[in-house]
């Protein structure tokens, strides 16, 4: 792994970019309805080796520094990541995460989410981080609470998953101080004037569609 990539050394795991060779571990941990049921439909179920191939290729090229494997002893046992908004939402990011069931209940997800939230707020100058959690996913709500997020509201009947209409609980974490103007707007962006100032097809970090969750 190249040393200029963002990685995080945590107490019980490491966050690092996905890389070729992760496919079999990804299938092992992702091919589980207990995981997939809480994520978007683009997280396939069943999860096949071809799905893992596609994911590892995408994540190890397009998603560098925004989506990370949760690594235990060299094995990718889950993922955590950010999708930075575009246009007027460029200082907001959606967080997403999942973890193989064999590793649940050890506080790994809260630690991973805390690390990438600090990174997003401190290094990427995000102002607002958010996650949408399907009603009933109490574990994920606990993860967010432990990582310092608060429940902002409920979007009623927002999602349809596995034939069920579900409310979506929106959890947020804001920057410690919220500016009233965007100090990061460049002179060139000012020159463009009102309207879209960044190309939605090319977000600064990650894709416009969150790859891993909720
Ligand atoms: C949500 C998820 C990431 C939790 O990760 P984790 O590292 O196990 O998180 P924690 O260890 O902090 O556990 C979270 C809570 O669930 C509880 N929990 C963990 N495993 C459990 C189990 N097998 N049965 C019941 N509760 C369990 C824990 O007690 C903890 O609650 P507490 O802090 O009040 O004690 C993991 O369950 C997962 O991947 N779920 C499917 C994908 C998903 O929901 N992603 C988020 C979409 S918004």
Do the Cβ atoms of 95 and 131 come closer than 8 Å?
Answer: yes
Q: Which is more confident, 44 or 200?
A: 44
pLDDT the model gives residue 211: 54
The 8-class DSSP code of residue 15 comes to E
Q: Which is more confident, 213 or 11?
A: 11
Mean pLDDT of 31-45: 98
pLDDT above 90 for 142: yes
Quick one: how many helices (H) and strands (E) in the chain? Answer: 6, 8
Mean pLDDT of 186-203: 39
Omega of the bond leading into 150 within 30 degrees of 0 (cis): no
pLDDT above 80 for 150: yes
- Ligand 1 binding pocket, CB closer than 6 Å: 35, 38-39, 97-99, 104-110, 131, 133, 137, 139-140, 142-143, 146, 213-214
pLDDT above 70 for 78: yes
Q: What is the dihedral of CA 141, 47, 202, 180, to 10 degrees?
A: 0
**pLDDT averaged over the chain?**
88
Pocket test for ligand 1, best of 38, 104, 108, 117 (most atoms within 8 A of CB): 104
pLDDT above 70 for 7: yes
Mean pLDDT of 73-100: 97
What is the pLDDT confidence band of residue 180, given thresholds at 50, 70 and 90? confident
Strand order through the sheet with 75-84: 8-9, 14-16, 67-72, 75-84, 92-99, 128-134, 164-174, 150-161
pLDDT the model gives residue 181: 86
Q: Which residues of 127-166 are buried (b: 16+ CB within 10 A; e: fewer)?
A: bbbbbbbbbebeebbebbeebbbeeeeeeeeebebeeeeb
Q: Which is more confident, 114 or 180?
A: 114
21: region left, alpha or beta (phi > 0 left; psi from -120 to 50 alpha): left
Pocket test for ligand 1, best of 78, 114, 133, 139 (most atoms within 8 A of CB): 139
pLDDT above 80 for 188: no
The 8-class DSSP code of residue 150 comes to E
Q: What CATH architecture does domain 8-192 belong to? A: 3-Layer(aba) Sandwich (3.40)
What is the pLDDT confidence band of residue 42, given thresholds at 50, 70 and 90? very high
Q: How many residues does the chain have?
A: 214
pLDDT the model gives residue 179: 87
Q: Which is more confident, 209 or 160?
A: 160
pLDDT the model gives residue 212: 60
What is the pLDDT confidence band of residue 167, given thresholds at 50, 70 and 90? very high
Q: What is the dihedral of CA 146, 15, 123, 2, to 10 degrees?
A: 180
What is the pLDDT confidence band of residue 185, given thresholds at 50, 70 and 90? low
Is the pTM here over 0.85, yes or no?
A: yes
What is the pLDDT confidence band of residue 210, given thresholds at 50, 70 and 90? very low
* Residue ranges of E strands in the chain: 8-9, 14-16, 67-72, 75-84, 92-99, 128-134, 150-161, 164-174
């Amino acid at each position: 792994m190249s040393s200029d990539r963002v990685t995080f050394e945590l107490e019980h795991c490491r966050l690092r970019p996905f890389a070729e060779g992760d496919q079999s571990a990804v299938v092992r941990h992702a091919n589980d309805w207990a995981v997939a049921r809480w994520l978007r439909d683009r997280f396939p179920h069943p999860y096949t080796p071809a799905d893992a191939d596609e994911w590892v290729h995408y994540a190890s090229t397009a998603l560098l520094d925004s989506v990370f494997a949760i690594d235990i002893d060299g094995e990718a046992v889950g993922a955590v990541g950010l999708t930075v908004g575009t246009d007027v939402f460029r200082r907001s990011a959606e967080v997403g995460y999942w973890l193989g069931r064999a590793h649940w209940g050890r506080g790994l997800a809260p630690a991973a989410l805390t690390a990438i939230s600090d990174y997003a707020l401190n290094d990427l100058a995000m102002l607002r981080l958010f996650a949408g959690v399907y009603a009933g996913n109490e574990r994920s709500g606990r993860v967010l609470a432990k990582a310092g997020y608060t429940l902002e509201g409920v979007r009623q009947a927002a999602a349809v998953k596995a034939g069920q209409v579900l409310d979506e609980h929106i959890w947020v974490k804001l920057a410690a101080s919220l500016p009233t103007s965007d100090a990061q707007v460049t002179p060139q962006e000012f020159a463009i004037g009102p309207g879209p100032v960044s190309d939605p097809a090319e977000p600064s970090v990650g894709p416009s569609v969150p790859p891993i969750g909720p």
